Structure 1
Amino acid sequence: MGGCCSRDEVGRMPTSGAMERVDAFYAAEEDSVRVGDGGARVRLKGSCMVASMFTQQGWKGVNQDAMTLWEGFAGDQGTIFCGVFDGHGPYGHRVACHVRDALPSRLQSGMKAFEGGAGDTGGDGDGWFASWNATIVSAFEELDKELSNHPWIDCICSGATAVTILKERDHLIIANLGDSRAVLCTRDDDDQLVPVQLTVDQKPNLPSEAERIRSCRGRVFSLEEEPDVHRLWLPDEDSPGLAMARAFGDLCLKDFGLIATPQISHRKLSDKDEFVVLATDGVWDVLSNEEVIKIVSSANKRSAAAKQVVDRAVRAWRTKHPTSKVDDCTVVCFFLQQPLPASNKPTRGIRRDSTVSADLSCTDSFRTARSEVSEPEMEVGAGGSQQEWTALDGVSRVNSLLKLPRFAKALSWRKRSVKIEEDT
């Protein structure tokens, strides 16, 4: 679902030549691999030995999703960072791309601030994780403050979510901000594939989130036309209607319960853990955890796994929500085990979630949902009968019903005026 939705028409901010160049930069397909801080190999699309990445634009305009993978993170070849970022609001694509590029560097700087790590201590003990927790929280919150003063990204009613993982040898640290999701595929004692949800979708109606929002005078309710989508609103205006409780940006809501503090968890990996799927809510709105790990585990090539998840999600949008606009869909499949030869691959079933050939050539990862539009397909149930889905008539199912609040217009105009004066 999108970040903001609007019940009123909103005039777009005048776009200068500089802003057009900024958007052109974000829209351009980056090189498959570039060198990041500390000599890390940074990938923004495609596939490699450890991951499959794919993003597809929906039907709402510019693709506001972003993704990244850093191998050799912080100069350590045994450390890998990856994440997906989902923008919302008029300038959400700028926020998502800025977070994608700036967050890893901030995390690396924070790593240097504390002594030791998994390589020195084995990652055991509360002190190691407490240090990581403080470093990640600080990086997220400082980046959010930086966005509030950014010279050319208007974050008054625009923002982005983030779900990231950091693998340091056999340790996995998960940080989540918003309603994207991370799901681990592991094996149980019967050698069956089992999805384990590593994050909680931070929706405004979650009891702990709703309590914080209301204590800050924010409001949480759903609209009559979309009763299943709870949103965050200002105290005295039906705006902006944000469909998540935590996010970067969205400055108009930061005094009313929206925070940029991520939820962080740690998992010690075992040889039963096979892969992690990071995906934006455009995927999880229409596919279950079980469906996603089944698609990935049955892919004939690792490099095609992320694309196959996105393709299935787009088809599901057209059948489950035929009157809604397909959301942007972004997937990163991060593989924890070395691939087996095709002849040695075991056949395993998929068990329900009990908790909340190795062709790895580089593949193109950018497409649009409209490029493969066909007649809506009906899902076939277990008994062979067609399965019907209900839809909200005419609802675009976006993340934010953007109706620019009065004070936000003034702040946005003031910010642009200061920028114009500085440029002249």
Structure 2
Amino acid sequence: MSTSLDVDDSLDIGSPDEALAHTFRQRRLTYSKHHLQGAAAAAAALLAEDLSDVDDENTIDEKEAAGDKRTLASNQEDEPLSKRIKSEEPTSPSSKLDDSLRKRILHAGEIIKKASSHHPQQQHHSSHNHRLAPKSKWRQRFSFCSTAPDTALPFPRSVVGTYSCHGMEPVYDSDYEHSEESDEDKNSSESMAALNKSQQQTVAKINQDRGGIAYPYANDGKCALFGVYDGHGEGGELVSQYALGEVQRLLEEKLLGLPSTLKNGSKKLESIGEDVTGDNENGHSEKQTSSQEESLIKKAFRETFVKVDRGLLKESDIEPIYSGTTACVALLRHNKLYISNAGDSRAVLARRSTIKSDEENASAENDSTTLVTVPLSIDQNPDSQGEQERILSAGGFVSPPPEPGLSARVWLDAENTQIGLAMARSIGDHAVKGVGVTADPVVTVHEVQEEDEFIILATDGVWEFMESEDAVEIVSKYLYCKNGGNGNGNNCASKACEALIKAAMAKWHEYEGDYRDDITAIVVRLKDIWKYH
């Protein structure tokens, strides 16, 4: 994702090239010159207070080892995790903590200034100077982005498709300036030719999206993890990469730590229909096990996201104050699909529905089928009712969308000069964590039915100009027609995913011209997912 930076007092919004630049969508995080120094102390104080709620991983592990089997009560599902998780490390003296955080915040400001002083052409997604932390820190089975090699998927490409495309942005000629002479003759053919030439130049943005697949997962041949992460801000690609690996690792640890009676619970539930009709008591027991399993896995997801968010503060080569990432993660565990979402990436399900014929004596052969789009997640925008109430009660400010199609934003001040985050939940973005923005995800559970065909997980590069129903229609055309075949008679999820990305790219070109956001998607065929395990 791109970040709009404004640190130059002499910026002339009225010049043609800058005016055109300002027509492009400000994607996720807006910086202003007013906050680079002024917000440092305020954000440090907020973070110092926020860090007092960081959970102690060692303490939690000791309690689990001691047999503490507390379950998450239903009335606790919406309670902030910070109230239930203990401190992650001993509290340091406030003065030292404030100094340390203030230095990190000011360091982020220097990064912003340095980036804005360089020509955009110097930033490219495949640059050898691009900062990357050691891969050994992030244990992962498979991850992908636009620069990743063509690695073999854990699943056949006919079953699971992945695709990621870096964004594009226009580059304006820095040598083309409007002197008094050019202002007087700004309509001359020479001036317009220079401007038109500058408009035609584009450069590939650093791809801050990440996607990952882990299979087999948690020592289970019928368990897989899928996720898409949409980074934003300076170094957002580092945050999304870190979140990708850490979510996989920490969630797996928690799943392996589930009681043994629950580890096999999903396997038993696959035949729950037969159990309920044959033995009511056994059916009740299975339902109780299912409910307990869902509560514990929901809790595991929420604690994992919060720990990943806190862990960013310990990474010396990642700046999480003014950068962050969304996270939309799907855990497919036998016949249960868990969706954990923080931000505005999205997951949707395609379900086949039968339309009965209108004729009274018509046979079932005359019935037609269609695909129904089922939302598995909800975009967490700042102006959504529940999200906005939390932000306002925490002392934050929410500005309405400046125009239809744009997002509302979270601000630190009423004047809307300090930070402008276009989502209410995220991993990272610690400068606004003190005003209601949270990493605590919304977790939903879906029991996979026979009619469920496939799911789509995608970053907002897909959803910006495309409805969920349109995405399902595009994917279905390639999954269920000859044009989507892989040459062996099997329809291909990879081809369907690629078609979805290309359709999204065309939408960006139609509405935004030379600007395009990063785009990442995963398509999973549910009926065939365990066929090869």
TM-score, length basis structure 1: 0.71
Q: Cα distance, 1:238 vs. partner?
A: 1.5
Answer with 193-202 or 118-127: which moved more. 118-127
- Which has the bigger relative contact order, CA under 8 A and spacing at least 6? 1
The within-5 A match list for 1:34-73 is 41=154, 48-60=157-169, 61-73=205-217
Contact 1:86/1:160, CA 8 A, preserved across alignment: yes
User: How big is each residue's C-alpha offset from its partner over 1:55-106, in whole Å with a ceiling of 9 and x where there is no partner?
Assistant: 1011142011000111211121111110100000011100001111111111
1:11 to 90, 109, 113: 113
Contact 2:32 2:417 in 1 (8 A): no
For the residues of structure 1 that align with 2:456 and 2:250, how far apart are their CA atoms?
Answer: 23
In the TM superposition, what are the counterparts of 1:134-149 in structure 2 within 5 Å? 134-149=299-314
Match of 2:331 among 160, 166, 177: 166
Counterpart of 2:148?
Answer: 29
Report the CA distance shift for 1:267/1:226 in structure 2 as closer, same or farther (over 3 A): closer
| Partner SS for 1:313 | helix
Q: Give SS of 2:227's match.
A: strand
Report how far residue 320 of structure 1 moved: 2.5
SS at match of 2:317: coil
Match of 1:218 in 2: 396
How far apart in 1 are the matches of 2:158 and 2:498? 16
Q: Is the 8 A contact 1:65 1:86 kept in 2?
A: yes
Matches within 5 A, 1:75-224: 75-115=219-259, 116-117=262-263, 118-119=265-266, 121-122=268-269, 124=287, 125-190=290-355, 191-222=369-400, 224=402
Aligned-residue sequence identity (percent) comes to 28
Alignment of 1:228-239 (within 5 A): 228-235=406-413, 238-239=417-418
Which structure shows the bigger proportion of residues in helix conformation? Answer: 2
Residue in structure 2 matched with residue 317 of structure 1 by the alignment: 508
1:315-362 Cα distance to aligned partner (Å, 9 max, x none) = 11111333x7211111100111239xxxxxxxxxxxxxxxxxxxxxxx
Q: CA deviation at 1:208?
A: 0.3
- Distance across 2 between alignment mates of 1:329 and 1:27: 9
Tell me the residue number matched to 2:476. Answer: 297
Measured in 2, the distance between the counterparts of 1:75 and 1:244 equals 35
Q: Provide closer, same or farther for how the CA distance between residues 19 and 103 of structure 1 changes in structure 2, counting only shifts above 3 A.
A: farther
Paired amino acid for 2:520: T
Q: What SS class does the counterpart of residue 179 from structure 1 fall into?
A: coil
Conserved? CA contact 1:3–1:87, under 8 Å: no
CA–CA distance in 2 between the matches of 1:210 and 1:172?
A: 28
Q: Which amino acid aligns with 1:119?
A: S
Letter of the 2:412 counterpart: L
* Counterpart Cα distance in 1 of 2:221 and 2:257: 20
Distance 2:219 2:418 in 1: 44
Residue 112 of structure 1 and its aligned partner are, at CA, apart by 2.2
| In structure 2, C-alpha distance between the alignment counterparts of 1:27 and 1:168, rounded to whole Å | 28
1:202 positional shift: 0.2
State the Cα deviation string for residues 350-393 of structure 1 (Å, max 9, x = none): xxxxxxxxxxxxxxxxxxxxxxxxxxxxxxxxxxxxxxxxxxxx
Which stretches in structure 2 are left out of the alignment for 5+ residues? 2-26, 34-108, 119-126, 136-144, 170-204, 270-285, 356-368, 479-483, 486-491
Q: Secondary structure at the match of 2:501?
A: helix
1:271 aligns with 2:450: yes
Whether the aligned pair in 1 keeps the contact of 2:266 and 2:336 (CA below 8 Å) is no
Q: SS state of the match for residue 218, structure 2?
A: helix
Q: Specify the structure having the higher radius of gyration (Cα).
A: 2
- Which segment drifts farther, 231-240 or 177-186? 231-240
Counterpart-to-counterpart distance in 2, 1:206 and 1:131 = 27
Aligned residues: 328
The normalised TM-score by structure 2 is 0.57
SS of aligned partner of 2:354: coil
Per the alignment, do residues 158 and 305 of structure 1 end up closer, same or farther by CA in structure 2, a change over 3 Å counting? same
Root-mean-square deviation over aligned CA pairs: 2.9
User: Aligned match of 2:461 in 279, 282, 292?
Assistant: 282
CA distance, structure 1, for counterparts of residue 405 and residue 373 of structure 2: 28
Return the letter of the residue paired with 2:224.
Answer: I
Q: Distance in 2 between matches of 1:24 and 1:173?
A: 30
- Over 3 Å counting, the alpha-carbon distance change for 1:98 and 1:130 in structure 2 is same
C-alpha distance in 2, partners of 1:336/1:329?
A: 23
